[in-house]
Amino acid sequence: MPKHYRPAGKKKEGNAARYMTRSQALKSLQVNLSLFRRLCIVKGVFPREPKKKVKGNHHTYYHVKDISFLQHEPLLEKFREIRTYQKKVLKAKAKKNEELARLLLTRQPTYKLDRLIRERYPTFIDALRDLDDCLTMVHLFAVLPASDRENLEVKRVHNCRRLSHEWQAYISRTHALRKVFVSVKGIYYQAELEGQKITWLTPHAIQQVFTNDVDFSVLLTFLEFYETLLAFINFKLYHSLNVKYPPILDSRLEALAADLYALSRYIDASSRGMTVEPKSDASSSSQSNDREESELRLAQLQHQLPSSEPGALMHIVADNNKEVEEDEETRVCKSLFKDLKFFLSREVPRESLLFVLPAFGGMVSWEGEGAPFKEDDESITHHIIDKPSAGHMYLSREYVQPQWIYDCVNARIILPTEKYMVGSIPPPHLSPFVDNEAEGYVPDYAETIKRLQAAARNDVLPLPGVGKEDLEDPQNLLYAGVMSRAEEAEAARNKKKMAELEKQYHEELKMELRGSAVDVAPVVEEVGEGEESVPDAANTQTAQDTSDMPTLLMSRKKRKLYEAMKKGQKKKSEAVEALEQRKKRLNAGQQ
């Protein structure tokens, strides 16, 4: 606490009064360091950097108000209570009173973080906004090995696993997944929930290790908070689907480690079968007995559903038509893999694909027990395989590498499968998180995808206004995959002209806004000239024009700003040029 009494003649003001070091904070809170760290993490109190570090640069500073905020936390008292209780247990053990120790251990006081979650995230949207870290952490700990040394129990790992699967099941059920990016670090997913973009990272399906440079006790404290948060969020989400939470899963599927599939079946069954009344059965014991029975019945019903029935996931797709709020993108995502049936080989990352494929409306099965349909099913359209060669090949289906799915998802179209055939090296996996337009450099494969997208769009909805950029019969060209040289050049010229006109228009608008009396006529004239002459020349001239005009009119401040902007643009273009040159060099080197 800040001292209320200040010795005469000693004024404490400014940074000295507003900030305190960590050890001061510990003293004033009367807690030990580990408890303080836990409390800070749970309450969301972080160190700050004061302007003047009164005690020196090697201290960590906290704001006085933050510390007083911690002091009023009821959890602090609870932690103290737990500590004294543990002392009791220790004492009993030291006295060799095993029975008492056991008895005491069974009645240990516990604490809950519900109130804190409500306090830190007053609205549901707030919680969703801050979910990135939470999801990544939970997904990470779901694959970590339980370890005594790091104090990571099996129960917690299982809980993380369950929570992550519940989240994935919800996302895939509502088709909220938007982007997937497979990087060396792991697989990035991006979903959109209630207008919030939630990005998370899941590790690859390999053994994760404990490293020495990581303080796992800190991470576990974070995890504790995040587990609670995600549980509440899942609760809310499941109830919005009219599904009971926590779900009761088919024990057979659970044993076969097909939790995600079991979950999706559960959601499907419960949202189809019964309407849950979450509020009514909250309190009394007689009612809870009834609930127990209904749960049992539900689980039995799930057993009765033939597990090899392929329709489980299809029902989800069919049901979703009923849901009211659906935006354009969700509809596109939902119907991407519609009517396609996938079969996963043993070596492909099953967890990830089981999540992604249903999220885009596909039906999946895998090699192993409990799968919805077998490998020899005739209706399978795509077989995902990651081996140099497949053994027995069915003619009725296409054999593709897993990257094809991720690329399709990111492009939102079904890409041609030739490049992703078994044994071949697939085209580069592009990041959907990079905005090519903003970056200025567009990789080759991105351009092909763009063309294919345009073609698909024209194919689906032949509107006159859509095909603005590819003016003359783009479909033939694009399906062929190659453009003849002349046509390509022409298209490019058209594009350039459009861009130029647009730019000029914007420039004029700007001028008008600025209220300067500039004659528009000469500019128009020059553009006319430009169109007649070589486009490049026109480009430079107009550019010069536009660059001269503002410099004359603008104030110095604005001019400087403008110059800075120019510099930035130049830098960017130089970077792009370097990339292109590098590519040229590479090509030359290959030939």
CB closer to other proteins out of 295 and 369: 295
Closest distance to other proteins from the beta carbon of 523 (Å): 33
Options 264-272, 397-405, 462-470, 504-512: segment touching other proteins (CB under 8 A) = 397-405
d(CA 233, CA 200) in angstroms, rounded, equals 15
Tokens 């990830």 label which residue?
Answer: 352
E strand segments, 194-245: 196-202
Question: What residues between 320 and 359 interact with other proteins by CB under 8 A?
Answer: 347-349
Is the previous residue joined to 47 through a cis bond, with omega within 30 degrees of 0?
Answer: no
Among residues 55, 93, 161, 239, which is the contact residue for other proteins, using CB under 8 A?
Answer: 239
Structure tokens at 485: 């040289």
In whole angstroms, how far apart are CA 273 and each of 170, 238, 276, 297, 302? 18, 15, 9, 12, 11
Options 55-63, 93-101, 324-332, 459-467: segment touching other proteins (CB under 8 A) = 55-63
Contact status, residue 403 vs residue 182, Cβ threshold 8 Å: yes
Burial class (CB in 10 A: 0-12, 13-18, 19+), 378: exposed
d(CA 21, CA 58) in angstroms, rounded, equals 10
CB closer to other proteins out of 444 and 459: 444
177: nearest Cα among 382, 338, 332: 332
Closest distance to other proteins from the beta carbon of 202 (Å): 9
d(CA 402, CA 472) in angstroms, rounded, equals 35
Closest distance to other proteins from the beta carbon of 219 (Å): 6
Among residues 425, 463, 480, 521, which is the contact residue for other proteins, using CB under 8 A?
Answer: 425
Options 303-311, 373-381, 431-439, 544-552: segment touching other proteins (CB under 8 A) = 431-439
Among residues 84, 212, 389, 555, which is the contact residue for other proteins, using CB under 8 A?
Answer: 212
CB closer to other proteins out of 31 and 128: 128
Contact status, residue 452 vs residue 479, Cβ threshold 8 Å: no
Closest distance to other proteins from the beta carbon of 182 (Å): 5
Helix (H, G, I), strand (E, B) or coil at 193: strand
Tokens 């040159």 label which residue?
Answer: 581
Among residues 84, 275, 283, 389, which is the contact residue for other proteins, using CB under 8 A?
Answer: 283
Question: What residues between 297 and 316 interact with other proteins by CB under 8 A?
Answer: none
d(CA 315, CA 312) in angstroms, rounded, equals 5
Options 51-59, 262-270, 297-305, 528-536: segment touching other proteins (CB under 8 A) = 51-59
Options 54-62, 314-322, 453-461, 503-511: segment touching other proteins (CB under 8 A) = 54-62
CB closer to other proteins out of 346 and 468: 346
CB closer to other proteins out of 410 and 504: 410
Among residues 109, 428, 528, 568, which is the contact residue for other proteins, using CB under 8 A?
Answer: 428
Closest distance to other proteins from the beta carbon of 533 (Å): 34
Among residues 167, 181, 266, 366, which is the contact residue for other proteins, using CB under 8 A?
Answer: 181
d(CA 96, CA 90) in angstroms, rounded, equals 10
Structure tokens at 568: 């930035």
Residue 346 DSSP symbol: T
CB closer to other proteins out of 159 and 504: 159
How many residues touch other proteins (CB under 8 A)?
98
Q: Is residue 44 a contact residue for other proteins (CB under 8 A)?
A: yes
Question: What residues between 81 and 120 interact with other proteins by CB under 8 A?
Answer: 114, 117-118, 120
Closest distance to other proteins from the beta carbon of 540 (Å): 27
d(CA 579, CA 440) in angstroms, rounded, equals 11
CB closer to other proteins out of 126 and 329: 126
Q: Is residue 562 a contact residue for other proteins (CB under 8 A)?
A: no
Strands 196-202 and 187-193: antiparallel
Question: What residues between 125 and 154 interact with other proteins by CB under 8 A?
Answer: 126-127, 130, 132-133, 136-137, 140, 144
Closest distance to other proteins from the beta carbon of 73 (Å): 12
CB closer to other proteins out of 43 and 341: 43
Closest distance to other proteins from the beta carbon of 521 (Å): 37
Among residues 101, 171, 180, 231, which is the contact residue for other proteins, using CB under 8 A?
Answer: 231
In 243-273, which positions are buried (b, 16+ CB within 10 angstroms) versus exposed (e)? bbbebebbeebbebebbbbbbbbbbbbbbee
Among residues 434, 492, 509, 565, which is the contact residue for other proteins, using CB under 8 A?
Answer: 434
Stated as kind and residue range, the H or E segment containing 384 is: strand 382-384
d(CA 403, CA 445) in angstroms, rounded, equals 14
Backbone angles phi, psi at 336, to 5 degrees: -65, -55
Backbone angles phi, psi at 244, to 5 degrees: -75, 145
Q: Is residue 66 a contact residue for other proteins (CB under 8 A)?
A: yes
CB closer to other proteins out of 499 and 564: 564
Closest distance to other proteins from the beta carbon of 132 (Å): 4
d(CA 446, CA 466) in angstroms, rounded, equals 20
Rg, Å, the chain Cα set: 31
d(CA 168, CA 149) in angstroms, rounded, equals 30
d(CA 548, CA 420) in angstroms, rounded, equals 51
CB closer to other proteins out of 440 and 467: 440
Contact status, residue 26 vs residue 36, Cβ threshold 8 Å: yes
| Opening angle at CA 526, ends 521 and 529, nearest 5 | 130
Structure tokens at 493: 């010229």
Among residues 34, 46, 81, 571, which is the contact residue for other proteins, using CB under 8 A?
Answer: 46
Q: Is residue 158 a contact residue for other proteins (CB under 8 A)?
A: no
Among residues 86, 208, 453, 475, which is the contact residue for other proteins, using CB under 8 A?
Answer: 208
Structure tokens at 591: 């030939």
| Ramachandran bin of 110, using left for φ above 0, alpha for ψ from -120 to 50, beta for the remaining angles | beta
Q: Is residue 266 a contact residue for other proteins (CB under 8 A)?
A: no
Closest distance to other proteins from the beta carbon of 210 (Å): 7
Options 6-14, 45-53, 329-337, 524-532: segment touching other proteins (CB under 8 A) = 45-53
